[in-house]
Structure 1
Amino acid sequence: MLASPTARPAPPAGIGSTLRRLWPLLRPHRRRLAAGGVCILVFVLCWPLLAWLAGRLIPAIGAGNVVVTLQTILAALAVFVVQKAAQFGQDTLLAAPALHVSQALRHELFARLQRLDFNALEKLSAGDLTYRLTEDADRVGEVIYKTIQDTTPSALQLLAVLGYMVWLDGTLALATLLLAPVVALLVSGFGARVMGAAERSQQQVSELASLLGEAIAGLPLVRAFAAEPWLQERFDREIALHRRARYRTLRLLALQHPVVGLLEAAGILAVLLIGAWRIQSGDLNSQGFSSYVAALLMLIDPIAHLTTNFNEFQQGQASLQRLRAIELEPVETPDRADAPPLGPVKGALVLEDVSFAYSPGQPVLHRVDLRVHPGEVVALVGPSGAGKSTLFSLLLRFNACQQGRVLLDGHDLADLRSRDLRRAVALVPQQSSIFSGSVAEAIAFGREASPEAIREAARIANADGFVQNLPQGYASRIEERGSNFSGGQLQRLAIARAVLGNPAVLLLDEATSALDAEAEEAVQSGLEAAMAGRTVLVIAHRLATVQNADRIVVLEAGRIVEEGSHNQLMAQAGRYRDLCERQFIHLES
C-alpha cells in the first residue's frame, strides 16, 4: 500500500469507554485478576500499619527506649516482608493479563485488517498501520498493566492512608484534603493537554514510518535519479516535525512535575505548622503526630504515581483511539449464512449487464456483457483505465458490482462463500508478491499440500528445475521481498502458487510485462502449462503476447467495444488494429 491519508479519527474515548472496550479482552483472566486483587489489598493495608509503627518508633528513639525501638523495628520488618511479597504477587499475577490484552488487540485488528473493504484498504498507509499494530498496541498494553498493577494500588493506598489520617486527627486531615482538588484540577488540565500533544506526536511517528517504508522500497530508484538530497531533505523535515511534536509532550510533562511537587511541599509545610498548633493546644500527642507525618509522607509516592500514570493513560487513550479507527473502517461483504458449497467447477464465466463505480457518478465498468466458456483463453486489452483490473477485482469478489451480476458455472458470485470462490479462481499478479520463508512455504501459501503436490505445481510452472539447483532445494529460504531471487524466478513461483490448488479459472495480470526476454520465455513456458485445461483471462498491454488467445476483448472507457480473434479484429480495422499498429503488430499473411 502506498502512503496516503490515514484512517479517519475515532470519537474521543473516556476512561469508561476504554474499560468497556478492553474488558472483554480481560474477562478470560478473571481468576488471575482476582488473585492479583488480593495481593493489592494486602499491599495497601500494610501502609497504615507501617504509619502506626512509625508513630511508635520515632518517640521511642527520642526517649532512648531500645527495647521498644527493637520491637517496633522487628514488627516493621515483618510487615515489609509481607508487603513486598504481596507486591511481587500483584506484579507477576497482573502482568500476564496486560500482555494478553496487547496480543488480543493485535490479533483482532490484524484479523479485521485482512477483511477490510479493498477501497478502504487502499487509502491506508502501510507505515501508519504498522505503527498502530506495533507501538500503539504495546502502549495500550502498558497502560492496562500500569492501571491494574500500579494505578489501582496507588489509589487504594491513597484512600487507606487518608482514612488512617482522618482517624488520627480530622482537623489535620481536612487541611490536607483541601489541597486535593487543586492537585486534581492541575493533573486533569495537564493530562488533557498531554493527550493532545501525544496524538500529534504519534501521528508524526506514523508519517515518518510511512516515509521510511517508501524510502527503503524505493532506494534503487532514488539512486538512479540521483535524488538522495531530495529524499534526505524530506526525511530531515519529517524527523524535525516529530522532534518538535515529541518535545511539546515532554515539555508539558516537565512543567507538570515541579508545579505539582511545589504544591505538595507547600501542603506538607502547612500540615507541620498546623500540627505544631494542635500539639500545643493538647489535641494531639507527639506519637499521634509522628504517625500522621509518616502517613503524610506515604501520600507523596502514590500521588506521584497517579500523576505520571494519568499522563501515560492519556497517551494510551490516544493510541487506543488510533486502534479503534481501524475498527471503524468498512469490511468486505460477509458471506451469506446459507451460502451453498461450490462443488466441482468447470470454469464458465458470465457477466450480465455489469456496472461498477468506485465513486458515485464515475462508472469504471458500464453495462458489460461477457460470456467465457470453460477452457477458453480470453485476453482483455485496452488503454489504462479501461476497466480491465476492475473486472478482475469483481471476479475475485474484492468488489461487488452495483448493477447486474457475475456468474461462475451459473452461480452468482454474491451467493458463494468467498473462500470457495478464491480456491476456484487463482490470480497471477503483474508484480509477484512472494512472502519470505522457504520455497515450499511460498508455493503452499498457507494451504495444506504434500511435497509431491508442491513439486508438481512447480514443474507445471517451469520452476522445478531452478528450485532443485538451489543449495537446499524446496527448503531454501526466500528473503524479504524475494531479494535473493530473480524476477523471472519469483514469477514462476507465483504461477506455481496459483496452480497448486488446481483452480478452474486463472487470472493473469500482465504476468510477463516486467521481465526481460530470457526470463519472459521461461515464464511464458510455465504459463502455457498452467493454462492447459483451464478457463483463462489475461490482461495485456503488450498485444504480441495475446495474439494466440481464443478471443480478444477490447475495453474502452468501461465498455466492450470489440471482440474476436486477432485476425478477425485486425480485419475489422477498428480500435484493436489501431492499438496493434502502434505496437508495430500487423495482420498475419
Structure 2
Amino acid sequence: MLKQSEAGFRRLLPLLRPHLRQLSLGLVCMLVYVGSFLLLLNLAGDLFPALGSKDLSRVLALIGQGVLIFAVQKLAQFGQDSLLAGPALQVSKTLRSDLFSRLQTVELGALEKLSAGDLTYRLTEDADRVSEVLYKSVHDTLPSVLQLIAVLGYMLWLDWKLTASILLLAPLIIWLISLFGAKVMAATERSQTKVSELAGLLGEAIEGLPLVRAFAAEPWLQGRFEDEIDQHRKARHRTYSLVALQHPVVGMIEVVGLFSVLGLAAWRIQSNDLSIAGLSSYLTGLVVLIDPIAHVTNNFNEFQQGQASLRRLRQIEREPQEASDPSPSIPIGRPQGHLQLQQVNFAYDNGKPVLHNIDLSIAAGQVVALVGPSGAGKSTLFSLLLRFNTAQSGEILLDGNNLSQVKARELRQQMALVPQRTTVFSGSIAEAIRFGRPASQSQLMEAARLANAHDFIMGLPKGYDTQLEERGTNVSGGQLQRIAIARAVLGNPAVLLLDEATSALDAEAEAAVQVGLRQAMQGRTVLVIAHRLATVQEADLIVVLDKGRISEQGSHDQLMTSNGRYRELCERQLIRMNAPTNV
C-alpha cells in the first residue's frame, strides 16, 4: 500500500521496483538514443566542409553513415518508448487500485462527508493525469534532460567560450520555468477544485432532476450550473494564460542567446579562432538543443499539474480509516446469534455523546425492534454492531465474543443488512444477489424463495439473467427490496438487521416484502429499526431509545400499559393495544 509522504512523485518510485529489468532495458535504449545525437553532431562537422570541397564520394559516404546512425537512433527510440510505457502504466494502475482499496476502508462518517462527484473525478481524471506525467517523465523528460546534458557537454568540448556565453542565460531560464511552474500548479489546483465541484453538482442534479421539475426550479438549477462552469472556465483560462505567456518569454531569451552566439562566432571566425567545421558542429548542436528545451519546459508545466493531481489523490489517504483487525483475532465460526451490549457509550468526532450506557441482552432467534424519535441512536447502534464505528467504552458481545476481537470481514459475513434505501450495482439479478460471493444456482434460488422474490424473477424475460439498470430503475421498489432481502440471506447470516425495510413502499408492495421478511427472519436473530410502530407490534422485544438512552423495553402490550414514551409514540400514530400487525 501507498504511504503518506510529502515527497511528491518520489513516493511512486517503490512501485517501479517490480519492473527494474524492463526499466533497465529501456534505459539502455535511451542511452543509445541520446548517444546517437553526439555521433550526428560530429558527422555534421565533417559533412559541411565535404559539401564545400565538392568531393561527392565523401559526401555520399557521410550521408550513408548519417542514415545508418539515424536508423539506429529511431530503433532505440522505439525500444525506449515501448519498454518504459508498460511500467509507467502499471504504476498508474497500482496507484488507482491502492487508492480505491483505501477508499473502501475510510470511516463511514468521513466518507459520507465526501462528494461522490469529487471522488469520481480524483480517481479518474486526477489519476490519469498522474499516469500521463509519469509516462512522459520516463519516456520523454528523462531522455530530453540526458540529451541536454550530452549535447552541452559536447559543445563545451568543441568550444567552451561559446558555450559559457549560453550557460550565462541558463539560470535565468531555469528561474523563469520554476516561477511559471509554481504558478501553473497553483492555478491547476484551483481549476481541479472547480471541476470537482462541478462534478459534484452534476451528480446531485442528475439524481434530483425529478424533484427539480416538481418544484419548477429548472431556471435556478441552470443558473447555478452556468455559474459553476463559468468559474471553472475562469480557473482553466488562468492556467492556459500562464502557459501561453511562458512560451514567448522563455523563447525570447533563447533567441537572444542564439543571436549572441552567432555574433560571437562571427567575430571569432574573423579572428581565425574558430573553424567553419567547428562552427557547423556547434550550430547543429544549438539546433539540437531547441527540441529538448521545449520538451523539458512543456513537461515541467505538466509535471506541476500532475503534482496538483497527486496532492489531491493523497488527500484520500489522509481520511480517517476504520479500525484495523485485532491480532490475534477470535474466530467466530457460525454463531447462534446471542447479542449483549454492556455499558456501551459512543460519540462521534465532534464529541457529542450519541449513546449512553446501553445495556441490552438479545437471545438467539429473538426479534427485537428499536423504536424512538429521529436522532435517538438507532442507526448508530447498527453501525456499532457492524463495526463501522467503535464504542469509546463498554462491550458488544456475540455469543460471548467481544466484537472488537473479531475480524470485521468475518463479523459482517454473519450479519446482514437490509437498508431502507436499496442500492444495487448494474448487472444481472443473479449478480446483484450474489454480490461477489460464491453461490450455486440452487443456493441463489433458495435465497430468492426465502425473500419471496423467485416468482417475479422467473416471470422476467431472462429470469435471473435479467440485467438491472443503474440504481435498478427497471424493476419496482418492492421487487428491488426483495432482491435486497435475497442478497442478505444468501450467506445464511446469524443476525439480520432491518433498517425501515418497507417504509418507502405502497401497501401492495409492502405486503409482498413482508412475506419475504417473515420467511427470511426464521431461525435468525433480528433487529428492526422502525418508525411506523404498527409494523413491530409482534416483536419479541421492543426497545425504546430516547436521546441515546434506553428509556424502556418490553413487549407491545407491556409497554402500552406502562404509560411511558412508547405509548405516547403509539398514540400519535393512532395505535392501540392488540391492533392488527404486519410483522
TM-score by length of 1: 0.96
Q: Alignment partner for residue 294 of structure 2, among 299, 304, 309?
A: 304
Cα distance between partner residues in 2 of 1:361 and 1:463: 43
Matched residue, 2:341: 351
Q: Alignment partner for residue 513 of structure 1, among 490, 503, 515?
A: 503
* 1:534 correspondence with 2:521: no
* 1:295 correspondence with 2:274: no
Matched residue, 2:432: 442
Contact 2:189-2:309 at 8 Å conserved across structures: yes
Matched residue, 1:410: 400
Any gaps of 5 or more consecutive residues in structure 1? Answer: 1-9
Cα distance between partner residues in 2 of 1:19 and 1:202: 18
Cα distance between partner residues in 1 of 2:9 and 2:96: 17
Cα distance between partner residues in 1 of 2:129 and 2:539: 55
Shift of 1:67: 2.3
Cα distance between partner residues in 2 of 1:218 and 1:79: 63
Shift of 1:473: 0.9
Matched residue, 1:36: 26
Cα distance between partner residues in 2 of 1:566 and 1:554: 11
Matched residue, 2:52: 62
Shift of 1:360: 4.6
* 1:372 correspondence with 2:359: no
SS in 2 for 1:405: strand
Matched residue, 1:551: 541
Q: Which aligned segments of 4 or more residues in structure 1 are displaced greater than 6 angstroms?
A: none
Cα distance between partner residues in 2 of 1:359 and 1:369: 23
Residues 258-407 of structure 1: matches in 2 within 5 Å? 258-407=248-397
Shift of 1:548: 1.0
Cα distance between partner residues in 1 of 2:529 and 2:12: 47
SS in 2 for 1:586: coil
* 1:141 correspondence with 2:131: yes
Shift of 1:40: 0.5
Cα distance between partner residues in 1 of 2:339 and 2:457: 35
Residues 13-92 of structure 1: matches in 2 within 5 Å? 13=6, 17-92=7-82
Cα distance between partner residues in 1 of 2:14 and 2:377: 44
* 1:210 correspondence with 2:200: yes
TM-score by length of 2: 0.97
Matched residue, 1:3: none
Q: Which amino acid aligns with 2:372?
A: G
Q: Which amino acid aligns with 2:404?
A: A
Cα distance between partner residues in 2 of 1:241 and 1:20: 33
Shift of 1:223: 1.2
* 1:230 correspondence with 2:220: yes
Given the superposition, is the C-alpha separation of residues 480 and 360 from structure 1 closer, same or farther in structure 2, using an over 3 Å criterion? closer
* 1:252 correspondence with 2:242: yes
Matched residue, 2:157: 167
Any gaps of 5 or more consecutive residues in structure 2? Answer: none
Cα distance between partner residues in 2 of 1:567 and 1:290: 104
Contact 2:8-2:311 at 8 Å conserved across structures: no
Q: Which amino acid aligns with 2:399?
A: D
SS in 2 for 1:552: strand
Cα distance between partner residues in 1 of 2:225 and 2:260: 53
Q: Deviations over 1:302-359 (max 9, x none)?
A: 0000000001111111111111111111211111121021122110111101111113
Contact 2:166-2:261 at 8 Å conserved across structures: yes
Contact 2:496-2:521 at 8 Å conserved across structures: yes
Q: Deviations over 1:555-574 (max 9, x none)?
A: 11001111111111111122
SS in 2 for 1:507: strand
Contact 2:9-2:307 at 8 Å conserved across structures: no
Q: Deviations over 1:116-139 (max 9, x none)?
A: 122221221111111111111111
Q: Percent identity?
A: 64
Shift of 1:405: 0.9
Q: Deviations over 1:502-525 (max 9, x none)?
A: 111100000000001111000010
**Comparing 473-482 and 507-516, the one that deviates more:** 473-482
Shift of 1:50: 1.0
Contact 2:330-2:401 at 8 Å conserved across structures: no
Residues 434-513 of structure 1: matches in 2 within 5 Å? 434-513=424-503
SS in 2 for 1:359: coil
Shift of 1:19: 4.1
Q: Which amino acid aligns with 2:570?
A: C
* 1:99 correspondence with 2:74: no
Cα distance between partner residues in 2 of 1:64 and 1:204: 64
Shift of 1:34: 0.4
Matched residue, 2:183: 193
**Comparing 310-319 and 214-223, the one that deviates more:** 214-223
Shift of 1:246: 0.4
Cα distance between partner residues in 2 of 1:409 and 1:31: 53
Shift of 1:252: 0.2
Shift of 1:20: 3.2
Aligned length: 576
**Cα RMSD between the aligned structures?**
1.2
SS in 2 for 1:536: strand
Shift of 1:115: 0.9
Q: Deviations over 1:156-204 (max 9, x none)?
A: 1001111111111111111111111111010010001001001111111
Q: Deviations over 1:376-434 (max 9, x none)?
A: 11111110000000000000000011111111111110011111111111100000111
Cα distance between partner residues in 2 of 1:202 and 1:360: 30
Cα distance between partner residues in 1 of 2:125 and 2:219: 29
Cα distance between partner residues in 2 of 1:229 and 1:241: 18
Cα distance between partner residues in 2 of 1:441 and 1:540: 29
Q: Which amino acid aligns with 1:277?
A: W
Cα distance between partner residues in 2 of 1:435 and 1:556: 36
